[in-house]
Amino acid sequence: MAVGQKTIRVVIGKVGCDIHERGALILARAFRDAGMEVIYLGRYQTAEAVAKTAVDEDASVIALSDHTGSMRYIAKETVDALKKFGGSDIPVIAGGLIPKKDLPYLEKLGVTGNYGPGTPLETVVNHIREVTEIDWPKGEVPG
């Protein structure tokens, strides 16, 4: 690998009690094939553990996966925890089964992507390249 080259480092995790790991694993593989380094945390994480890991690992981005309809809570906790550990400049993207009605809330929180089933892998990969290239301002969310 070339000297001085920047590498995108992605932390992938599933927070809470959600066994559906296939999507996260497929994404891990897709990110790897796109030349990224994937720090794979797998299932049954807490939002705080994901956030602290991202800070310790100097992650370029956090990718959250959830299939229980709880993304709004998971994302909020993760964003809050990032603030606590001094990593609020780390962008957060999400995917899985996300209720449509939660999308505006997540966008407002600064959590982007919010992909559902059937999204081409390329779309997600390109989104990561976009969010890691810019300083990502995360909005304050009431409540």
Partner 1 sequence: MIERTLDPKTAKLVDDMLQGNARALARLITIVEEDGEDAHLVLGQLGPTGRAHRIGITGPPGAGKSTLVNRLTSCARQNGLRVGVICADPSSPFTGGAVLGDRVRMTEHSMDEGVHIRSMSTRGSLGGLPTTVHGVIELMDASGKDVILVETVGVGQMELDVMASVDTVVVALVPEAGDDVQAMKAGLMEIADVFVVNKADRPGAESLLVGIRSMLDLVCHGDGWRIPVLATQAENNIGVEDLYQQIWEHRRFGLESGSFEERRAHQRHDEFTAALQKMVTHQFMQTVAADPQLAACVTRMNAGEISPYEAASEVFRTVSQKLR
Residue 80 is a binding residue for partner 1 (CB under 8 A): no
Task: Examine residue 46 and tell whether it contacts partner 1 (CB under 8 A).
Answer: yes
CB atoms within 10 A of CB 115: 20
- Distance CA(93)–CA(79), nearest Å, equals 11
**Which x/- pattern, by CB under 8 A, does the window 1-40 give for partner 1?**
x-xxxxx-x------------------xx-xxxxxxxxxx
User: Contacting partner 1 (CB under 8 A), which of 15, 23, 24, 41?
Assistant: 41
Applying CB under 8 A, the residues found at the interface with partner 1 are 1, 3-7, 9, 28-29, 31-42, 45-46, 48-49, 52-53, 55-58, 85-87
